[in-house]
Amino acid sequence: MSSLGWKWRRLRAMSAQEIVVRVVRAVRERVSPLPKEPPNATWERYYAQHAPAPTLQRIAETLAPRPQVVSALVEAKPLPDNIDEAGVVWAFRA
Parse the chain into domains and list their residue ranges: 3-76
Question: Would you give the DSSP letter of residue 14?
Answer: S
- Could you state, in chain order, the average pLDDT of each consecutive group of 10 residues for the chain (94 residues)? 86 93 88 77 76 74 68 64 65 57
Confidence at residue 85, expressed as pLDDT on a 0 to 100 scale? 63
Beta-carbon contacts of 28 under 8 Å, excluding residues fewer than 6 positions away, are none
Check residue 77 and give left, alpha or beta (phi > 0: left; psi -120 to 50: alpha). beta
Confidence at residue 30, expressed as pLDDT on a 0 to 100 scale? 82
Distance between CA 82 and CA 70 in Å, rounded? Answer: 23
The Cβ of residue 46 has, within 10 Å, a number of other Cβ atoms equal to 9
